[in-house]
Structure 1
Amino acid sequence: MVTPTAPPTPAPLSLAELHTSLSDPVLDAMNFLNEVVARFPDAISFAPGRPTEGTFEPEDLARHLQSYTTYLQQELGWSRDQTRTLLFQYGRTNGVIHELIARTVANDEGIEVPPEAVVVTTGCQEAMLLTLRALFARPEDTLLVSSPCYVGITGVARLLGIQVRPVPEGPDGPDPLAVQAAARAAKQAGQRPRAFYVVPDFANPSGASMSRAARELLLAVAEEEELLVLEDDPYGFFVRTGEARPTLKALDRGRRVVHLGSFAKTALPGARVGYVLADQEVVGPEGGRTLLADELSKIKSMTTVNTSAVSQAVIGGLLVESGCRLREANSAAVAHYRTTMDTLLDALERHFPAERQAELGVSWNRPDGGFFLVVDVPFAADHKALELSARAFGVLWTPMRDFHLDGGGTRQLRLSCSSQSPEAITEGIARLAAFITAQITGTAA
């Protein structure tokens, strides 16, 4: 007879025995920020880069879905049974709206790729994961990134055990000659620089943009150094001043650019639909030829299997309704982000006029568009300062040091204007100005 005993105390898992990436500060940064935002719900937040909800209505989802099913049945001649299977079952690994995406990028960006080169992903984050896993095969393979850099790509690299080498970013984005120097330094160190990741338009977090001349020079450097360019361009539509610049993929003649795309900012973030344009040819050991998109499909089949057909149908309906011209469909959003960035810049100027900037040692950049700008301050803009700002002054921002791989950004903070109204921005900058002044004068505590 077995005598019942008290259940054993569960033994904790040792963090030292889990993957080393779980101890990386890059993975902690966003969790910390989310936690602070949750603890101070009444604070005005310039922290997240989420898009405006604008004119979103719950009824829109049903309309988009109906538009897509109508497109399938009336334009493509699908039967009701075929439509039902597409929506309710597992689907094609590389996606079912690839033809609509190929038409859209051709109309909006002048990017000409065959539909078979499009991989529809679960957000752009999966696009990064698939691309890095496919391209980085050897221990010495190294990813070059602008620094500061979006933590999504550096986090994925860390999870996959990929070496990352930072390229310092200037006020106009990465200098192609600095990219070349970094590639050559990597080779001298026994590494194989495989690709360079860049956000060419209104980058997250800096707001910097590359000129057309710099883009063309970067492609020439990539050719010379045998680099692929991983182009991530979620903000290119949202021009505040000047004209939109061509994407790197639109300028690419040597198939050096793998374009990472997303509908999060231009359509519907909740759908979690992104894509990769991967038209590079891959040659097998027996001489067989495929597209890089086909190789990404093999990895996707072992991760998410396929991107939600329902989410794709919603995005597909939205593309159909817009005539596969999202740039035109985003005219209201472009106007909104232009207004919010102008409001943000005007409010900073009011609270910190030129003489006040010089006196306090405060400055900021003036992006030509997008969601973000960076403020330089003469104190440590770290997590401790962020918590004080939220608790005592009711305003949130993002420490720039979380985006740097080379120890920079310690006295910088990122502001995002994307999800706030002009009125909230005006009040939020008043609170931020009070916090910054108190920090400088020693009265913040």
Structure 2
Amino acid sequence: MVLDSTTLHSSIEDPVLDRLSFLNEITFRYPDAVSFAPGQPYDGFFEVEDVHACLRRYAKYLEDSGAGPAQVRAAFHRYAPAAGQIRELIAHSLRQEEGFEVAPESIVVTVGAQEAMFLVLRTLFATPEDVLLLVTPCYAGIIGAARLLDVTVAAVPERDGRLVVADLERAVRAQRAAGRRPRAVYVVPDHANPTGSTLDLATRVELLELARRCGLLVLEDSPYRLSGPGPRPAMLKALDGSRCVVQLGTFSKTVFPGARVGYVVADQEVRDGRGRIRPLARDLARVKSMVTVNTSSLGQAVVAGALLGVDGRLSVLNAGAAEHYRRAMAATLAELERWLPPGRRRELGVGWNRPGGGFFLTLRTGFRTGTAALERSAREFGVLWTPMEFFHPFGGGERDIRLSISSLTPGQVVEGVERLVRFVEASSGGRAAAGPVPGTESDAS
């Protein structure tokens, strides 16, 4: 049987679905290239024995809580409840780390944050008139999830690398004037993927006030929150007095990626046609039961053991990694400055932002930075990166590059920046970039 592609869901032909696989494929073809492409944690902090220690710690916790041998065995080997079996520990961690209270019943444990996005979008977006606002550039996974689920999206471009809440308000009004319903806005407030930017406290408060006035939900994605040093602005969910924030979380960047455990905090109330109230999290769990059934019991057990080992304070567990990312970011910025001083940057039309931590920064160039340029960069210069156009749903970022520093050693940073600069100089030809170069002041993170 040969299927006609026009009979398949239209998203299958969407280029967004090929982007991550393209990066994986080109990384495989050029194994000796220094890669600024993957947005993954540095794996030097993960040890196999840590997994065993976490499992033993969780087993002891269950035993100390009164579970018998059969119950402990079931917690590791059987299907977990659809909503998850470690919700109490996640709620405790949020209390310890972020200082806000959430009922365990308002949490759903997911297969990474990506599943959390699917559950939330499938539950909240009912008609083509329901619109998801995306602060762009934004994580490609939310673009792909929306496309697969036929969710209508509208872009709210950052201005000078920042979310301007007034621009978001104008977008809400424009959508309503067109007869559509802005349902939610997706944001990554801390060390965002792909730009590395962080929302300051004043912008967070202003965003929540707009959401309250407009009846807009805020989907707060927070995977990189603990990947930077020093004090952090309060999480949006911690400031959420109106229950307008749905928080998406993951342990992939803190415990380890292979556990594939995330969560969603959805403490909003849903009123049915008969006036009865139920938690939104219950609806998400019902959707999950038809998607992945449950999140791996073993994965949850590992995460639980990790949380128990630090009394829920993931910043303690992640302190060494956060310092690694800080040093890697500082080294990358210093090497860029060394190879491309101000005069040379002006000649080439090149600039970059300066995040205070996290995985990512943005490089503006004077040439087209799509997949053909990436292929040439890998083949001729031995360096990989990600085209920023991957993170724009309706075009944009054609001259920009995302650099991820998270998985590189100090030696790879030095070698990688040298290769990258040689590629940029060879591709620029001394031409000035079209449009403004991103701000070079320090990011307020």
Measured against the shorter chain, the TM-score band is: over 0.9
Q: Which amino acid aligns with 1:353?
A: P
Matched, 1:367 2:373: no
CA–CA separation in structure 1 for the residues paired with 2:250 and 2:160: 25
Measure, in 2, the Cα distance between the counterparts of 1:100 and 1:21: 37
Q: Is the counterpart of residue 127 in structure 1 residue 116 in structure 2? A: yes
Q: Match for residue 101 of structure 1? A: 90
CA distance in 1, matches of 2:319, 2:161: 25
Determine if the alignment matches structure 1 residue 115 to structure 2 residue 78. no
Distance 1:173 1:81 in 2: 53
Aligned to 2:283: 295
Pairing partner for 2:142 from 153, 158, 178:
153
1:28 paired with 2:22, answer no
Higher mean displacement: 85-94 or 161-170: 85-94
Supply the distance in 1 between the matched residues of 2:427 and 2:157 (Cα, whole angstroms). 28
Structure 1 segments of 4 or more deviating over 3 A?
none
d(CA) in 1 for partners of 2:80, 2:346: 59
Q: 1:170 aligns to what SS in structure 2?
A: coil
Letter paired with 1:306: N
Matched, 1:311 2:328: no
The 1-side partners of 2:160 and 2:292 are apart by 38
| Distance apart, 1:183 and its partner CA | 0.8
* Paired letter, 1:99: E
Q: CA deviation at 1:298?
A: 0.7
Q: CA–CA distance in 2 between the matches of 1:286 and 1:190?
A: 28
1:268 to 252, 256, 262: 256
- In the alignment, is residue 411 of structure 1 matched against residue 424 of structure 2? no
Instruction: Determine if contact 2:45/2:321 at 8 Å carries over to the other structure.
Output: no
Counterpart Cα distance in 2 of 1:195 and 1:294:
19
Matches of 2:162 and 2:342, distance apart in 1 = 25
Q: 1:317-336 to 2 correspondence within 5 Å?
A: 317-336=305-324
Where does residue 190 of structure 2 map in the other structure? 201
Q: In the alignment, is residue 233 of structure 1 matched against residue 225 of structure 2?
A: no
Tell me if the contact between 1:171 and 1:208 (Cα under 8 Å) persists in the aligned partners: no
Counterpart selection for 2:78 from 82, 89, 99: 89
Query: Which AA in structure 1 matches 2:6?
Result: A
Unaligned runs of 5+ in 1: 1-10
Give the equivalent residue in structure 2 for 1:3. Answer: none
Which stretch shifts more, 107-116 or 197-206?
107-116
How much has 1:243 moved relative to structure 2? Answer: 2.7
Cα distance, 1:405 vs. partner?
2.2
Tell me the distance in 1 between the aligned counterparts of 2:349 and 2:45. 40
Q: How does 1:350-361 map to 2 (within 5 A)?
A: 350-361=338-349
CA RMSD of aligned residues (A): 1.1
Matched, 1:78 2:87: no
Query: Is 1:52 matched up with 2:52?
Result: no
Mapped partners of 2:155, 2:100: distance in 1: 28
Out of 347, 356, 365, the residue aligned to residue 377 of structure 1 is 365
Asked if 1:64 corresponds to 2:64, the answer is no
Deviations 1:15-48 (A, max 9, x none): 2111100111211211211111111111000001
Using the alignment, how far apart are the partners of 2:249 and 2:310 within structure 1? Answer: 18
SS, match of residue 174 in structure 1: coil
Picking from 162, 165, 172, the partner of 1:183 is 172
Q: Write the distance in 2 (CA, Å) between the matches of 1:386 and 1:139.
A: 36
CA–CA separation in structure 2 for the residues paired with 1:439 and 1:138: 45
- C-alpha distance in 1 between matches for 2:44 and 2:178: 49
3-state SS in 2 of match to 1:126:
helix
Instruction: Note the C-alpha offset of 1:368.
Output: 2.0
Kept in 2, the 8 Å contact 1:117–1:292? The answer is yes
**Equivalents in 1 of 2:190, 2:328: separation in Å?**
17
Q: How many residues align?
A: 430
- Contact 1:147–1:406 under 8 Å retained in 2: no
1:4 aligns to what?
none
TM-score if structure 2 supplies the norm length?
A: 0.95
Which structure has the larger Rg over C-alpha atoms? 1
Equivalent residue letter for 1:110:
G
Amino acid at match of 1:193: P
- Give secondary structure in 1 for the equivalent of 2:253: coil
The SS at the match of 1:173 is coil
How far the C-alpha of 1:239 sits from its partner, in A, is: 2.2
Q: Is the contact made by 1:401 and 1:412 (CA closer than 8 Å) also made in structure 2?
A: yes
- Counterparts of 1:194 and 1:162, CA distance in 2: 11
Query: Secondary structure of 1:324's match?
Result: coil
Distance of aligned partners of 1:282 and 1:206 in 2 relative to their CA distance in 1, 3 Å threshold: same
SS in 1 for 2:209: helix
Q: In structure 1, the residue corresponding to 2:45 is in which secondary structure?
A: coil
Structure 2 letter corresponding to 1:302: M
CA distance in 1, matches of 2:79, 2:428: 57
TM normalised by structure 1 equals 0.95
Measure, in 2, the Cα distance between the counterparts of 1:15 and 1:34.
Answer: 24
Query: Is the CA contact (8 Å cut-off) linking 1:381 and 1:411 kept in structure 2?
Result: yes
Structure 1 Cα separation of the partners of residues 110 and 352 of structure 2: 36
Paired residues of 1:172 and 1:209 also in contact (CA < 8 A):
no
- Measured after TM superposition, the shift of residue 172 of structure 1 is 5.0
* Residue identity in the other structure for 2:102: V
Q: Distance in 1 between matches of 2:176 and 2:299?
A: 43
Over the matched positions of the two proteins, sequence identity in percent amounts to 50
Query: 1:315-364, CA deviations, whole angstroms, 9 ceiling, x for partnerless residues?
Result: 10111111111112211011100000001100100110111101111100
